[in-house]
Amino acid sequence: MRPDLRTQQRDFLLEITRAITAQLDLGEVLRRVLYASLVMLAGRVGVIALSDKQDGKYYVRAYSGISADTVPDLNSKLHELIQTLDEGGFSREFLDSKLREMADAIDARLVQSIAMPLVFANNPLGLLIVFRSYQTAITPEDVNTLQSFADQAAIAVNNAQLYGEIYNERQRLEAIINSSGDGVLILNPDLTIQQANSAFEQMSGWRKEDLAGLPKNEVIVWANLDGADIESALGAGWAQANSQDPQIKTLNVEGDLIRRDGSAVSIGITYAPLMAKEGGLESIIASVRDISSFRKAQEMQSIFISTIHHELRTPIAIIKGYASTLGRDDVDWDREVIREKMAIIEDEADRLTNLVEDLLAASKLQTTRKLRLNLADVDLRLVATRAAARLEDSTTQPIELSFPDNFPLVPGDETRLRQVIDNLLTNAIKYSPAGKSITVGGRFSEKSVTVFVRDQGAGIPKREIDKIFDRFYRIDDNLTRRAQGAGLGLFLAKAIIEAHGGDITVKSQVGSGSTFYFTLPRDAPG
Ligand code: ADP
């Protein structure tokens, strides 16, 4: 090798060393290695093939002096070459003949090829091949220099590949954390926040960017906490216990979290320690679940039990009382008294039947989430008139009707719509004082009809308006407590109206009364 070539080679070796330290992008590393080797060896064509992690085969990853359509052919020749290598090595002649084939496939003018394996820590990473259009003798000294060049290149390639893998792994983890429906917080051992995901952002009302670096306690502010939070577990040697035991001991806490805007949400947190390879706590992963629906279900269950208990007890007590009175042997009741008492027993039995039916309908809605409707043309004015007449018998409140004469028929399920009107009227009676009139009326447009029920009762506070349509929800006030009801009427009314493609709303003024409206489309619900 000529002295000026040697100096050039040293320079290129330096260039590769710089590539190792400066570049972590695999494509860029390969480009630099290829460029350096082509100049160094005065090559015409250069190819770097790397072993694929998935199938172990070699594929061309960088090339110079050839067009892209040559690559598939080169790849298949490389596969044959490497397969023979795996099957017990090959002779110099075999390698030369394969390289010859490759050179011929590229360009007949290529007369010499030099192949250098890229090996890192005894692991073959790939192959660097340079083709020349002239032939020169290669001395053992040249081979040494070339090999140390290839070794440096292999380090650079290995670093870039590792970096790429770590980068991909990190992206994968980020994607998993960010797509998780549960909130995730990664805490440092001093309990400051390292990272949070989008679900936690939603749950807590804090923005992810604002969370990094904050002490956990500034963000996880408990209103009610069952048990103790992570601090006391850490104090009691939770991390140490975990570093000695391969079985991870997680810590679960539950309570109400005060969100950034001051509202509360029930959450459960599972803390898991991430131990460093060399022992010691690296970080703590906190997965945070919104358990409000679970809590709500529990609450619902207890409301359900107490409502049912209360609502069943009254009619049953009345029925039992009258039945045993009538059954007494020592009294001879006259027919009128018997008729009266039997009518009361019948009314109470009806009330029980209605309650059971409402309960069944509510539980069915809970599981199937839809109601089946028997559609026909319904005269809501007639339905309302009959309901008013029926209910007027049992109340001291006059019920006025306010429908236009040409009020149209609408497609609907008459039985269910009757149930809605009955319920709104019964509520108006229950929740307004004796003597105050109630109005049921309607109006219509080209597209829809609206029925309203107006009372002059206690009214409904604003904060309760949305809740009264919830299952088992009853306003906690004296008026409601005195009135019978299971809190199912409006829930079912809403479900029925929505199944018709309509909606139900209420306007109310505390002290002066409420008006419930339901609107139905005049086209049959789809
Ligand atoms: P309930 O069986 O308790 O009457 P509903 O679902 O029909 O159940 O109503 C839910 C709650 O809404 C009632 O408990 C009552 O507190 C309130 N409410 C309903 N209608 C009226 C009204 N017209 N005026 C005032 N409050 C009402």
Find the angle CA(346)-CA(348)-CA(350) to the nearest 5 degrees: 70
| Pairwise pLDDT comparison (304 vs 25), residue with the higher score | 25
Q: Which of 75, 65, 69 is nearest to 98 (CA)?
A: 75
pLDDT at 71 over 70: yes
pLDDT of residue 143: 81
Q: How far apart are CA 374 and CA 416, in angstroms?
A: 9
pLDDT of residue 7: 76
| Pairwise pLDDT comparison (354 vs 444), residue with the higher score | 444
Mean pLDDT (the chain) is 88
| Pairwise pLDDT comparison (1 vs 473), residue with the higher score | 473
| Residue list, ligand 1 pocket, CB within 6 Å | 423, 427-428, 431, 455, 457-458, 460, 468, 473-475, 480, 485-491, 514
Pocket test for ligand 1, best of 311, 427, 479 (most atoms within 8 A of CB): 427
> Can you give the length of the chain in residues?
526
pLDDT at 519 over 80: yes
Q: Is 395 exposed, middle or buried (0-12, 13-18, 19+ CB in 10 A)?
A: middle
Q: Which of 117, 125, 115 is nearest to 157 (CA)?
A: 125
pLDDT at 1 over 60: no
pLDDT at 139 over 90: no
pLDDT at 220 over 80: yes
448-454/410-412 β-pairing:
unpaired
Pocket test for ligand 1, best of 420, 466, 474, 518 (most atoms within 8 A of CB): 474
pLDDT at 494 over 70: yes
> Which ligand 1 atom sits nearest the alpha carbon of residue 469?
6
Indicate the pTM of the whole model.
0.55
pLDDT at 153 over 90: no
CA 470 – ligand 1 centroid, Å: 11
pLDDT at 310 over 80: no
CA 464 – ligand 1 centroid, Å: 10
pLDDT, tens digit, for every residue of 26-47? 999 999 889 888 888 889 999 9
pLDDT of residue 5: 64
Pocket test for ligand 1, best of 431, 476, 479 (most atoms within 8 A of CB): 431
pLDDT of residue 525: 65
In the block, residue with structure tokens 């008139």: 385
Q: Is 435 exposed, middle or buried (0-12, 13-18, 19+ CB in 10 A)?
A: exposed
pLDDT of residue 90: 59
pLDDT of residue 3: 55
CA 447 – ligand 1 centroid, Å: 29
pLDDT of residue 211: 94
pLDDT of residue 429: 94
